[in-house]
Amino acid sequence: MGTMDVWYAQTNVDEVTAWMNTAKSEKRLGKKEEKGAERQIAKARTRNSVRVFSKRTGEVGGQLRIVRDLPLIVPIEDLLLSAAEREETEKAVARLIRTYRRGRAHEHHPIEEFRYVHMARKVVGVGSVGTRCWIFLMEGRDLDDPLFLQAKEAQASVLERFVGKSEYRNHGQRVVAGST
């Protein structure tokens, strides 16, 4: 299995199907819900890193790169004017990834198994308009083990005014921890 497959190997489709069958036999799941769940399972089977990899990457000048998909995805070399600016930005990304890895040091995280390859700016959903978002192409064992990592500027939670300030130093930590 690929690195991300191992990381997410906690529940498999057979377990989900067994749960659905139990819920159906106990009359907690109707035909409509069962069909909807089956559609979602079929859809999930088509959504993986390899599919995204084949759609979002290509060879440019003999190197693996994220391909342009204007206006949504803009590779770094299309954004920065000089090679020096690009190199400085990619060094900053390497520092960001090292910082993330250090922050997860108490547990083995799959990002440890990947190396940075390329990056692009990505336009994200309506709720994130105006925030910076980048996607990083990472490579695991080989080209059949890719990872797209998204790094997005984190702002205060919309719940903060109701539940109080976050316990974390910054909003990025809050997002990674999965807290409000």
What was the pLDDT predicted at 53? 79
86 has pLDDT over 70: yes
For 125, 135, 136, the CA distances from 74, given in Å and listed in that order, are: 16, 10, 12
pLDDT at residue 7 in the model? 67
Q: Whats the size of the chain, residue-wise?
A: 180
What tokens were used for 69? 């998909």
pLDDT at 56 over 80: yes
Question: What ranges make up the beta strands (E) of 35-126?
Answer: 57-60, 63-66, 73-75, 115-122
Both tokens of 111, joined, read 């990002």
44 — pLDDT class (breaks 50, 70, 90): confident
Asked if pLDDT for residue 179 goes beyond 70, the answer is no
Task: Decide: 110 and 3 in contact? Cβ < 8 Å.
Answer: yes
Q: Is the pTM of this model over 0.75?
A: no
pLDDT at 127: 65
What's residue 69's pLDDT? 93
pLDDT in tens, 110-145: 788 888 899 999 988 766 666 788 899 998 888 778
Strands (E), 22-161: 57-60, 63-66, 73-75, 115-122, 133-139, 146-152
Q: Using CA atoms, how far apart are residues 136 and 76, in angstroms rounded to an integer?
A: 10
Closest CA to 72 of 125, 113, 7, 146: 125
- The structural domains of the chain, with segments of one domain joined by +, span 1-47, 56-177
Give how far Cα 128 sits from Cα of 125, 152, 180, Å: 5, 9, 16
